[in-house]
Homo-oligomer: A and B are copies of this chain.
Amino acid sequence: MFIEKIVLSKERNVTLTAMIQDVGGEYRTVTERPGIIVIPGGGYSFCSDREAEPVAMAFLNAGFDAFILRYSVGKDAVWPRPLEDYDEAMALIRERAEEWHVMADKIAVVGFSAGGHLAGAAATMAKNRPAAAILGYAVLNEDVRGCSDTAPDVTKYVDYDTCPCFLFATRTDSVVPIMNTVDMMAALAKNDVSFESHVYSFGPHGFSTAEHVVQAAGTAITERAADWVQDSIGWLKEILGDFGTKGFTKPVCKPHVSDDKGAWLSIDCSIGRLFGNPVALEVLEPVIAEMKEKIQPFSPEMTFDDMMQVLGTMKLSDLLKERGIAVEKLDAYDEQLGKLPNI
């Protein structure tokens, strides 16, 4: 590993500290790594050390490269300065991805408190979006005004293109009300954006990783609050993939339940969506033949087409898996459909 501290703005004291781990050699199939940008909190008035390196360590341990972003704070925090700092940092990482052996499309963010606001902004409105965002006891709704006059209500910017999010907080947080996290969940749910969330029963604001080195043993905090670290790493593996025997594996959790609103078709579009597209029908011809054979309509009067209309909102992949149809070829069909615009 080596550590490289890059100054993004000297006058505003904006820096990116890259912690880059080795690849290849004894790491066998590990020829590049996913990355994570760590965004500490501090009410947009400072960047907390407690939410910087201790957090980086957890993700380095899991095999990620880590990048600590110290962004514009205090009088320099006028929006969209902090978001521009983020965008510049992400652009720089992607530029140097090959040199650093980082997977440019598998870089997440993790932010805390006000840093969670910035991470949430990155997820919803940045030019250079992360692949996933972890938002810890984050300021996400209009409460942001408590620490910045100019920063936006992130929940208002959630849309279909927001990246998958992992949220956590303690319910009794007396600095950032828990409604920030609840409002964000609602916004993500309404836009069918993949998320996971954990609200823990009690504990103070600012517990970082809850390792005792940052949150001393004996503090009044539920012991479950420490779970977010391993849980979020498990979640990132679902969203981004994992180190496998034959290279990095495919994600097992897609950004959306259904791909009906996406730009391209997929096997995870609804039956209605796919059957309404003549080019898709052509691609699926052999599958449909098999479906006609194996799927019995609910009643003798129903035709196959009637049946498909009834099941129209079901994802095609779900139906095929349930009935054991073309299961080994799902990836192949998915690839073919992925070349067709969703119109």
Contact = CB atoms under 8 A, between A and B. Distances in A.
Contact of A213 (B185, B209, B243): B243
A63 to B, nearest CB: 3
B216 A224 contact: no
Contacts of A190: 179
A233 to B, nearest CB: 9
A223 B252 CA distance: 12
Contacts of A216: 28-29, 243-245
Copies of this chain assembled into the complex: 4
Size class of A's contact patch? 35 or more
Contacts of A172: 257
Contacts of A60: 57, 60-61
Given A58-B61, A185-B185, A257-B174, A53 B218 contact: no
A61 B249 contact: no
Contacts of A198: 197-199
A222 interface: yes
A171 B194 contact: yes
B182 A253 contact: no
Given A171-B195, A182-B186, A30 B243 contact: no
